[in-house]
C-alpha cells in the first residue's frame, strides 16, 4: 500500500539512506577504534507527512505493520522504536517536532548485518530535517541516530553504522576514527570490488551477544586502566586479563592495527590477508561467528579471484564480505553458492545485485 492509501494524503517529503558493509574494523567502534565501511546499493526510504489527529502514525511497507503512538512516555517495540527514538532525540536537542505520519520502505535486508537499523534512523532524521528545515549536518545526523539506538532501542552501539549510512558511498571505503570522527575517503584496492553474500542464517543472538561483548570490553578497559581499548596498541598487553576478556581485548587491538595498516596503503593481496585474519580473530577471540559463516568464508577464501573474506556486522549469523578481482564477480558468485549449497546451506548474493541461476 502507498503512503496516500495509508494516510489519505500525499507525503510532504522523503529521504533515503544506504545500508553498509564493513571491510575491516569489526566491534572496534564502541571501543573508540578504527573502521573501514562502505555503503551498499540497497537503501531505506522514509516518506513524511503531518498527522492531523495529534498522534504519530508509523507504517512499514515491508512488514505491513502500522503503529500509533498513544503514549509518548512509552517506547514502542520493533521498527517503530527506531523512528520514535529519532523523534525523541531531536526533541531533547531542543527542536519542536509535530505529530507525523511516517511511511517506511526498504531494500536493505533486515537482520543480515548490513545496518538496516542505521539506514532507517538516518533516513528518518534526513526526512525530518528536510520537512522542518532543521540546521543539522550529516555528522550530527549520525550522532543523533546513534543516541536513538542506544537509548530507545537498547543496543550499546558505536557510531560506525550511522556514520557510514550518513556519509559513505558505494564507490569508496570510508576510514573513520570513531573517537575523533576524523575520516578519510579511500579508494578500493586496484582492480577490486566487493562480493556480499547472505549466509542464510539470521542473526538470532546479535542483540544479546552484542551487548555482552560491549560489557566485556568495558570490563577489560577498566582492568587495563585505559579510557578505551583503542588505547592499547600492543596485543601482548592484553595477556594479563582473565579469560575471556584477554581474547576480547586482543581482537580489538589486532583489528585496530589491521585497519591502520590499510590506511598506509596495501596491495589487494595484503588487504585480503588482513580480512582473512579479521575473520579468524572474530571466530576465535571474539567468538561471534557460527558454523555457516565459517563455511561460507572458507569457501570464498579458497575460490580463485578472491583476495580475502570475513563475516561482517555483529556476527552470530548474517552476511560475509569478500574482496574479489574486478570483473570476475559473476564467475565467482555461482561457484561459491554451489559449494556452499553442497555443504548444506543456502546463500544469496546481495552485492553486486545480480541473479545467480539455480542451475549452477
Question: Which residue from 356, 311, 317 is spatially nearest to 205, judged by alpha carbons?
Answer: 317
pLDDT for residue 360 is more than 60: no
| CATH number of the CATH domain containing 101 | 3.30.230.10
Residues 171 and 318 in one domain: no
Please count the residues of the chain: 360
User: With bands split at pLDDT 50, 70 and 90, how would you rate the model's confidence at 37?
Assistant: very high
Q: What pLDDT is attached to residue 359?
A: 35
Residues 197 and 146 in one domain: no
Residue 356 belongs to some domain of the structure: no
Give the mean model confidence (pLDDT) for residues 350-357. Answer: 75
The last residue of one of the domains, among 186, 217, 248, is 186
d(CA 71, CA 74): 6
Residues 120 and 249 in one domain: no
Query: Is there a contact between 337 and 328 (Cβ–Cβ < 8 Å)?
Result: no
Q: What pLDDT is attached to residue 154?
A: 86
**Cβ within 8 Å of residue 248, ≥6 positions away:** 213, 216, 217, 220, 285, 286
Residues 179 and 211 in one domain: no
Query: Is there a contact between 238 and 246 (Cβ–Cβ < 8 Å)?
Result: yes
The whole domain housing 10 covers 3-186
Give me the number of domains the chain comprises: 2
pLDDT tens, residue by residue, 47-72: 999 999 999 999 999 999 999 998 77
Give the mean model confidence (pLDDT) for residues 133-142. Answer: 98
> Among all chains, which residue has been given the C-alpha cell 507527512?
49
Residues 136 and 31 in one domain: yes
d(CA 43, CA 166): 12
Q: What pLDDT is attached to residue 211?
A: 87
Flag the least confident range among 152-161, 176-185, 219-228. 152-161
User: With bands split at pLDDT 50, 70 and 90, how would you rate the model's confidence at 204?
Assistant: low
The last residue of one of the domains, among 168, 186, 204, is 186
d(CA 46, CA 95): 20
**Is the alpha carbon torsion for 139, 106, 75, 13 positive or negative?**
positive
Query: Is there a contact between 27 and 252 (Cβ–Cβ < 8 Å)?
Result: yes
Query: Is there a contact between 348 and 320 (Cβ–Cβ < 8 Å)?
Result: no
Q: What pLDDT is attached to residue 355?
A: 66
Residue 358 belongs to some domain of the structure: no
Give the mean model confidence (pLDDT) for residues 181-198. Answer: 96
d(CA 63, CA 177): 35
Q: What pLDDT is attached to residue 206?
A: 53
Residues 87 and 117 in one domain: yes
Give the mean model confidence (pLDDT) for residues 262-266. Answer: 95
Query: Is there a contact between 114 and 42 (Cβ–Cβ < 8 Å)?
Result: yes
Residues 141 and 232 in one domain: no
Residues 140 and 232 in one domain: no
Residue 357 belongs to some domain of the structure: no
Residue 360 belongs to some domain of the structure: no
Residue 309 belongs to some domain of the structure: yes
Residue 359 belongs to some domain of the structure: no
Give the mean model confidence (pLDDT) for residues 9-13. Answer: 98
User: With bands split at pLDDT 50, 70 and 90, how would you rate the model's confidence at 248?
Assistant: very high
Return the percentage of the chain with pLDDT > 70, whole number: 97
Q: pLDDT higher for 136 or 357?
A: 136
Mean pLDDT (the chain) is: 94
Q: What pLDDT is attached to residue 264?
A: 94
d(CA 198, CA 349): 6
Residues 40 and 166 in one domain: yes
The last residue of one of the domains, among 186, 210, 237, is 186
Residues annotated catalytic, as ranges: 161
| CATH number of the CATH domain containing 295 | 3.30.70.890
pLDDT tens, residue by residue, 297-314: 999 999 999 999 999 988
d(CA 119, CA 20): 8
- Write the DSSP assignment of 237-257 as a string of letters: GGGGSPTTHHHHHHHHHHHHH
Residue 205 belongs to some domain of the structure: yes
Residues 55 and 87 in one domain: yes
Residues 346 and 246 in one domain: yes
Residues 177 and 207 in one domain: no
Give the mean model confidence (pLDDT) for residues 67-86. Answer: 91
Amino acid at each position: 500500500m502507498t503512503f496516500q492509501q495509508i494516510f489519505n494524503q500525499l507525503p510532504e517529503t522523503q529521504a533515503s539512506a544506504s545500508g553498509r558493509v564493513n571491510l575491516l574494523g569489526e566491534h572496534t567502534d564502541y571501543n573508540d577504534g578504527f573502521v573501514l565501511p562502505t555503503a551498499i546499493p540497497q537503501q531505506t526510504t522514509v516518506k513524511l507527512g503531518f498527522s492531523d489527529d495529534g498522534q504519530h502514525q508509523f507504517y512499514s511497507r515491508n512488514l505491513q505493520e502500522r503503529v500509533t503512538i498513544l503514549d509518548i512516555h512509552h517506547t514502542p517495540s520493533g521498527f517503530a522504536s527506531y523512528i520514535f527514538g529519532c523523534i525523541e532525540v531531536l526533541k531533547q536537542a531542543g527542536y519542536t517536532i509535530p505529530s507525523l505520519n511516517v511511511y517506511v520502505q526498504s531494500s536493505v535486508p533486515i537482520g543480515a548485518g548490513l545496518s538496516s537499523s542505521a539506514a532507517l534512523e538516518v533516513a528518518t532524521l534526513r526526512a525530518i530535517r528536510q520537512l522542518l528545515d532543521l540546521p543539522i549536518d550529516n555528522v550530527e545526523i549520525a550522532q543523533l541516530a546513534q543516541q536513538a539506538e542506544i537509548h530507545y532501542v537498547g543496543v550499546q552501539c558505536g557510531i560506525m553504522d550511522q556514520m557510514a549510512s550518513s556519509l559513505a558511498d558505494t564507490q569508496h571505503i570510508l576510514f573513520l576514527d570513531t573517537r575523533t570522527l576524523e575520516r578519510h575517503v579511500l579508494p578500493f584496492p586496484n582492480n577490486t570490488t566487493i562480493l556480499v553474500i547472505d549466509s542464510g542464517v539470521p542473526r538470532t543472538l546479535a542483540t544479546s551477544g552484542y551487548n555482552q561483548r560491549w560489557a566485556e570490553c568495558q570490563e577489560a578497559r577498566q582492568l587495563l586502566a585505559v579510557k578505551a581499548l583503542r588505547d592499547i596498541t600492543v596485543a601482548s598487553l592484553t595477556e594479563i586479563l582473565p579469560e575471556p576478556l584477554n581474547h576480547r581485548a586482543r581482537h580489538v587491538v589486532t583489528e585496530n592495527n589491521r585497519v591502520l595498516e590499510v590506511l598506509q596503503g596495501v596491495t589487494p593481496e595484503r588487504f585480503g590477508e588482513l580480512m582473512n585474519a579479521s575473520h579468524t580473530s572474530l571466530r576465535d577471540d571474539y567468538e561471534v561467528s557460527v558454523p555457516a559463516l565459517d563455511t561460507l568464508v572458507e569457501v570464498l577464501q579458497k575460490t580463485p579471484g578472491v583476495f580475502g573474506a570475513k563475516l561482517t556486522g555483529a556476527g552470530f549469523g548474517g552476511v560475509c564480505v569478500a574482496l574479489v578481482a574486478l570483473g570476475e564477480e559473476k564467475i565467482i558468485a555461482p561457484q561459491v553458492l554451489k559449494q556452499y549449497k553442497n555443504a548444506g546451506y543456502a546463500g544469496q548474493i546481495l552485492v553486486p545485485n545480480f541473479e545467480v541461476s539455480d542451475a549452477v
